[in-house]
Structure 1
């Protein structure tokens, strides 16, 4: 495959972004694991962050092995790596959505009984929610496993006529069900994230308006506006990441071969920025980053 200048630049950016993400996720796991060893406890946010760090680390390794492995090997040989990538990606989406749910439950000022129950139960629910994310991610990759099994079956049936009933049915299932089920697997955790972020933003904006009405001191107003800007950044980059993933799955807007590396560089550039914002939101990680850099 001949690479043009845009593809070469995108590959360089992709490799740099991948190295940064691997360092970020490794540092997150190492720092929080040391915190757990020293104090024998982790906060709910740190439980989610250490899980996110592990999933990001495995996700990026799987991405690099698959993307560069396809240069020398057929895609069918590396389908298991592709499934691991998809599993880690969905797991990352679920963990990020539960992080948003946690902040919404703890910070929002809604008086509905559901929010009171969440505030009271959320600390105990986090380990169970992390376990649920693993189960949900396993269920979400079943369509992909079926898809690759179908593709392998089609290779073995290559001797049959192209209009064979079995081949037509297998291709129909792959085309009509695999893509939509993938989007659903990513879409459900994203919707959870979206609802949590919108509710949290509404609560903070309402609280900010109340402080403005009662002439609260400038430091509190400034802190509130900083939180709102952080939420906006968090929302924009995670939403962009989701939309880029969906577009790459659909693959009908552009030629996937010529724009593949550009798409990869954009996806993991967004991951890199999004993960940086997550690290800066945690006091322990922020302190370590300031000391080191």
Structure 2
């Protein structure tokens, strides 16, 4: 979903069969509900952990914040998409603003999670890494606050941009102002593309750098283990190999999500106006898989799932 791309009316979309649109609309809703349930379970379970032990690990703090963020993001996405799809002549910019804010915040929180794992797990001996390894746990609350503040600042410009666009739309019926209005709208559209692209690209590049560094560190560690311990069993290499596979999956799906959002902002490569619900279903299928991988990155949640699965097997 992109707050800048308000879809056309329901009855004007006849480039694909209506049955296909309805099918992917249902798929999109189911995906959103799955992510909402995942986010709710994450927040409830980690919140209960915080109540019981009066503390949360840095990873669980990030995941709790991300769960709350995703919960709000998915509800704002559904409200914006359905309202603007069935009522195209109204501007539901406030839902779009909420979605844009939560989407930006989710990017920063995901990059923060990648940075934390990179600092704690990687075996680099550089002075900066050693200093961060010692300080990162205490820095996480401040980094969470910083992510929130950056997202708030970025959304202020989006709110001002939307307010100006609404004022320009109200001036369309003045013939003398039509040329000026069109030029201002073109400028705002280009500014919106650059603004959203930069806002999302910065945390994504931090995520990409952190993940690649961590994968390089794990690969180096595996090579050293094989070289210095020639008789090492395959079981000893299983943990780093599994971590590498998990990181690769995490990298692929978050990169896919970034690219789909970027394409959505640019409005390129596909005809979103005729394939609107297909595109939304693709985006949130990626988000669903990404949310699942995030849940499994928490030791607390994995321990809960193992206990539940063991209880089901025993029953």
TM-score, structure 1 as length reference: 0.95
Find the counterpart in structure 2 of residue 19 from structure 1.
33
CA displacement at 1:10 relative to structure 2: 1.2
Find the counterpart in structure 2 of residue 199 from structure 1.
213
CA distance in 2, matches of 1:164, 1:11: 37
Find the counterpart in structure 2 of residue 126 from structure 1.
140
CA displacement at 1:156 relative to structure 2: 1.7
CA distance in 2, matches of 1:16, 1:290: 26
SS of residue paired to 1:70: helix
Tell me which moved more, 65-74 or 177-186: 65-74
The answer to whether the 8 Å contact 1:105/1:122 transfers is: yes
Mapped pair 1:278 → 2:294: yes
CA distance in 2, matches of 1:202, 1:162: 61
Tell me which moved more, 228-237 or 176-185: 176-185
Distance 1:221 1:68, change over 3 A: same
CA distance in 1, matches of 2:112, 2:90: 34
Mapped pair 1:179 → 2:197: no
CA displacement at 1:72 relative to structure 2: 3.9
Find the counterpart in structure 1 of residue 131 from structure 2.
117
Find the counterpart in structure 2 of residue 257 from structure 1.
273
| Counterpart selection for 1:30 from 33, 39, 44 | 44
CA distance in 2, matches of 1:229, 1:158: 54
Find the counterpart in structure 2 of residue 210 from structure 1.
224
Give a deviation string over 1:39-82, Cα, whole Å, max 9, x none: 00000000000001000100001111111112443465310110
SS of residue paired to 1:111: coil
Residue segments in structure 1 that go unaligned for 5+ positions in a row: none
The answer to whether the 8 Å contact 2:84/2:90 transfers is: no
The answer to whether the 8 Å contact 1:76/1:152 transfers is: no
RMSD after superposition:
1.6
Greater percentage in helix: 1
Mapped pair 1:287 → 2:312: no
Find the counterpart in structure 2 of residue 231 from structure 1.
247
TM-score, structure 2 as length reference: 0.89
Residue segments in structure 2 that go unaligned for 5+ positions in a row: 1-9, 12-16, 310-315
Find the counterpart in structure 2 of residue 57 from structure 1.
71
Find the counterpart in structure 1 of residue 261 from structure 2.
245
Distance 1:162 1:71, change over 3 A: farther
The answer to whether the 8 Å contact 2:211/2:251 transfers is: yes
The answer to whether the 8 Å contact 2:250/2:290 transfers is: yes
CA distance in 1, matches of 2:126, 2:210: 15
CA displacement at 1:236 relative to structure 2: 0.3
The answer to whether the 8 Å contact 2:171/2:177 transfers is: no
CA displacement at 1:169 relative to structure 2: 4.0
Give a deviation string over 1:194-233, Cα, whole Å, max 9, x none: 0100110111110011111122332221111100000000
CA displacement at 1:6 relative to structure 2: 2.5
SS of residue paired to 1:176: helix
Q: 4+ residue stretches of structure 1 with deviation over 6 A?
A: none
Mapped pair 1:170 → 2:184: yes
CA distance in 2, matches of 1:179, 1:284: 39
The answer to whether the 8 Å contact 1:150/1:170 transfers is: no
CA distance in 1, matches of 2:34, 2:291: 10
Find the counterpart in structure 2 of residue 267 from structure 1.
283
| Counterpart selection for 1:190 from 182, 204, 207 | 204
CA displacement at 1:175 relative to structure 2: 2.3
CA distance in 1, matches of 2:101, 2:283: 16
Distance 1:71 1:165, change over 3 A: closer
CA distance in 2, matches of 1:9, 1:172: 35
